[in-house]
Amino acid sequence: MGEPVPPSGCRHCGVGEREHLQRWTAGVGWHFWVAPSARQRLERMLARRAARARPPT
């Protein structure tokens, strides 16, 4: 499993604001960085915490 999406990553694709520029994703198409919703930020923080709690494989 890959790294969790950063909490402040783009609402549509999860890429951080500084490295985003313009991206393409299915369903949204070409877009600039859009701030994630408060709910997305919370879910991403919880996912990151859960990933840290898992023992290394």
Domain boundaries, the chain: 1-57
Secondary structure element (H or E) that encloses residue 14, with its range: none
- Pull the structure tokens for residue 26: 């299915």
What's the whole-model pTM score? 0.79
* Tens digit of each residue's pLDDT (9 = 90 or more) over 7-37: 999 999 999 999 999 999 999 999 999 999 9
Taking phi first (over 0 means left), then psi (-120 to 50 degrees means alpha), and beta for anything else, what does residue 27 get? left
At residue 1 the predicted structure's pLDDT band, cuts being 50, 70 and 90, is low
User: How far is Cα 42 from Cα 6, in angstroms, rounded to an integer?
Assistant: 11
So what's the pLDDT on residue 54?
78
| Closest by CA position to 43, among listed 2, 5, 17 | 5
